Amino acid sequence: MLLQFPATANPEVDLKITYDALIVGSGAAGGMAAHVLTSHGLKVLLLEAGKAQDTSKLLHSMQWPYDHPRRGVMPPDHHALTLNEYTIRQSPYAQNLPFKSVQSYVQGWNGSDYSKTLVVNEKEHPYTGTRYAWVRSRVVGGKTNIWGRLALRLSDYDFKAKNRDGYGENWPISYADIAPYYDKVDLYLGISGTKKTFPICRIACSNVPSN
C-alpha cells in the first residue's frame, strides 16, 4: 500500500500560536508522531529542511529499463559513494571529487536517476562527523520516499545483540515492548508478509499480517 498525499500550498507558520508540540523532521518517526498527536486534537508544528516532491511523478517503478536513456542510471556528472570510498576517504566524503553531485551509496542501486532529487547532495550538505555511511533525505516524508516497499521489524536479535555476540550494548527496550505498536502501524499502512523460520525473524515475524 503506497500512501500518496495531494500537494497543497502550506501557509506561512503563525509564530503567535502556542503549539502543543514541535517536531523536527517529517520522516517515519516525525510523520507518525505528527499524525498521532494531531489525531488527538493537539496543535503540532512540523519542521522539515526539504521541500515536498511528488513521488508519483518522480519514481517510475513500473517503467521498463529500456524506456530510460541510461536504463535508470544517474547522469555521468552524478556519483554514488561506494563502500571503499566510505572506508578510505575522510569526511566530508564528497571533498575534491570531480562530480556535480555526490550522493550516498543507495544511489548506486537500480533506478537511481529517479530518486536523485530525494537524497542530499553531499557537496551541498557535507557530513563532517565520525565515519558513517549516512543516508540523508531532505524532503517531506524523509527516507520513506525511498523505502523500497520494505518494512521489516527489528527483533531481540537486534535489540539484545550484546547477549549474542558480546559487542556494544543492548537496547534499553525489547521486542515485546514495541510489538503492539508494530501491530498498529502494520495495519495502518497495509503491511503484510509471511511467517518465516529464520532465527533473526522467528519472533518478530510471528505477528505480521499474512498476505
Of 170, 169, 174, 140, residue with least CA distance to 156 = 174
Which pLDDT tens digit goes with each residue over 113-168? 999 999 999 999 998 888 889 899 999 999 999 887 777 888 898 999 999 899 99
Which pLDDT tens digit goes with each residue over 163-210? 989 999 999 999 999 999 999 988 888 887 777 776 655 444 555 555
Dump strand ranges (E) for 35-127.
44-47, 78-80, 101-103
Write phi, then psi, for 46 (nearest 5 degrees): -105, 120
What is the structure's pLDDT at 178? 93
Quick one: DSSP state of residue 129?
Answer: S
Report the predicted TM-score, pTM, of the whole model to 2 decimal places.
0.77
| DSSP secondary structure letters along 158-176 | HHTHHHHH--S---SS-HH
**Averaged pLDDT for residues 36-53:** 94
Is the confidence at residue 19, as pLDDT, over 60? yes
Cβ neighbourhood burial of 182 (10 Å; 0-12, 13-18, 19+): middle
What is the structure's pLDDT at 168? 92
**Averaged pLDDT for residues 78-84:** 93
Dump strand ranges (E) for the chain.
21-24, 44-47, 78-80, 101-103
C-alpha dihedral over 147, 25, 10, 104, to 10 degrees? -50
**Averaged pLDDT for residues 44-52:** 93
* pLDDT class of 22 with cuts at 50, 70, 90: very high
User: 144 — alpha (psi -120 to 50), left (phi > 0) or beta?
Assistant: alpha
